[in-house]
Amino acid sequence: MAFEIRDGTGSTSTAKVTGKNQLAVAADTMPREGRAAFDGYLHAFTTGPITLTTTGSYSGLLYITNSDSRPIYIWQIVAFGTVAVRWQFVKNPTTGTLISGGTSISATNVNFASTLTLGATLKKGGDGSTVTNGTTFLYAGNPAFDASSPLTRTPIIIGQSGSFALMCRPSASCDAFVSAVVSQEDLDL
């Protein structure tokens, strides 16, 4: 028995259904981040180098809070130190010297033709910056100078008014930095 699916918009397009009841399709695919960049929703930012001398505890290096109704998707975080370091991911922190006294940083839209901006507050911390009243949800580590792979390959989603912080504990005094690629959009999946 043959099936025909009509498009319904008046273009008279049809789709073929095979004898095994499979829809015959031809499609092009693009990674989600690529589509976000193309549409002007993808942004990148970095803390730049931060000198750390405190080795016995974590220092808050990056803070993000979402000030828009659209969620922020953290697609990639790359970070390293000049010595082996441990990283702590914190969900929804509310206080600490990173939040109250951190230095504002800016995000750059990676589609240079786009005028869309990121609806978020971005701050970088420094040696001894604190982050409190949040929930630690992940620890990671990397050896000295290893920024060859992201700290996480799973997207982190920050909803409206939500926040995220990344903290660093170096094995010895060092310089460290964090860079991230994020998008802010309503995904129609």
Q: Which domain holds residue 110?
A: 32-184
91 band by pLDDT with thresholds 50, 70 and 90 = very high
Residue 102 has pLDDT above 80, yes or no: yes
138 found inside a domain: yes
97 found inside a domain: yes
Output the pLDDT for position 6: 62
| CA 11 and chain centroid, separation | 40
Q: How far apart are CA 184 and CA 76, in angstroms?
A: 13
Q: How far apart are CA 89 and CA 131, in angstroms?
A: 11
**Strand-by-strand arrangement of the 4-6 sheet:** 4-6, 14-17, 23-24
- The SS3 call for residue 100 is helix
Residue 14 has pLDDT above 80, yes or no: no
Output the pLDDT for position 188: 65
The number of residues making up the chain comes to 189
Report the DSSP pairing between strands 103-104 and 14-17.
unpaired
- CATH number of the domain bearing residue 105: 2.60.120
Output the pLDDT for position 2: 58
SS (H, E, C) 114-126: CCCCCCEEEEECC
Output the pLDDT for position 5: 61
Using CA atoms of 139, 177, 171, 63 in order, give the dihedral in degrees to the nearest 10.
Answer: -50
2 found inside a domain: no
Output the pLDDT for position 189: 55
112 Cβ neighbours under 8 A, 6+ residues apart: none
165 found inside a domain: yes
Output the pLDDT for position 58: 96
Output the pLDDT for position 124: 97
Each residue of 16-68: pLDDT tens digit? 778 888 877 777 777 888 889 999 999 999 999 999 999 989 999 999 999 99
26 found inside a domain: no
85 found inside a domain: yes
Using CA atoms of 114, 115, 120, 126 in order, give the dihedral in degrees to the nearest 10.
Answer: 80
**For the chain, how many structural domains are there in total?**
1
144 found inside a domain: yes
Q: How far apart are CA 183 and CA 124, in angstroms?
A: 19
Each residue of 105-160: pLDDT tens digit? 999 999 999 999 999 999 999 999 999 999 999 999 887 776 666 787 788 999 99
Average of per-residue pLDDT across 60-89: 93
Maximum separation of any 2 CA atoms in the chain, in Å: 74
Residue 10 has pLDDT above 80, yes or no: no
In the predicted model, what is the mean pLDDT of the chain?
89
169 found inside a domain: yes
